[in-house]
Amino acid sequence: SQTIHQWPATLVQPVGSPLSLECTVEGTSNPNLYWYRQAAGRGLQLLFYSVGIGQISSEVPQNLSASRPQDRQFILSSKKLLLSDSGFYLCAWSGAVSNEQFFGPGTRLTVL
Amino acid sequence: KNQVEQSPQSLIILEGKNCTLQCNYTVSPFSNLRWYKQDTGRGPVSLTIMTFSENTKSNGRYTATLDADTKQSSLHITASQLSDSASYICVVRTGGYNKLIFGAGTRLAVHP
């Protein structure tokens, strides 16, 4: 069966510090991968998606970047965090046939 | 503009009671509509999916309805349990695999 992991689960970082969140998927090959941010009281916002290694599409301009160094690894990064980067970050995957997205457990990021 | 609006924002009910959550969407083209359950601090988990031709879909005590003419969906929870306390998110897919429009969710609290 397929599983999706995210770490860390929670993170508290000072403004201006770098960020690296990791997402890995097991039990599937060549998944589509997604990074979302969920702000309190608002719907999930798609940040990035990837259809293959090294292929990243950005949905909104922002302070963040994404990379896919391996087939089942998706990384969300920032060089300098802003207060507005605080939120709940969710990684998701979908298969080539089914468009259902399966979400990871999420990372709660607090920027102070 | 593609939008998904959910009501109410929050709801408190007593254990054993029924409740209905609403979702109105203005999304075109329409592909399918999913209801997700999201426990606090966790990733969303799919409950039901409906395409244009489906009017109702059940998953245990959860029953979703879809009226494609009025662009409305509802999620009915029967005989609520404490474990039903969560946020319920309505998601409409339009077009390609990355085109998901998320509602802000309804936060349900079931009290003993």
- Give residue-wise pLDDT tens across range A28-75: 989 999 999 998 778 899 999 999 999 999 887 678 999 999 999 999
Nearest CA in chain A to B102: A43
Q: Under 8 Å CB-to-CB from B99, ≥6 apart: which residues?
A: B31, B93
Nearest to A112 by CA among A12, A9, A11, A10: A12
Q: Check A43 against B101: CB less than 8 A apart.
A: yes
Where do the H-state alpha helices sit in chain B? none
* Residues 6 or more apart in contact with residue A48 via CB below 8 angstroms: A34, A35, A56, A57, A58, A59, A64, A66, A76
Contact, A53 vs A71, CB < 8 A?
Answer: yes
pLDDT in tens, chain B (112 residues): 889 999 999 999 999 999 999 999 998 888 899 999 999 989 999 999 998 889 999 999 999 999 999 999 999 999 999 999 999 999 999 876 668 899 999 999 999 9
A97 touches chain B (CB under 8 A): no
Q: Yes or no: say if A50 and A74 are a contact pair by the CB < 8 Å rule.
A: yes
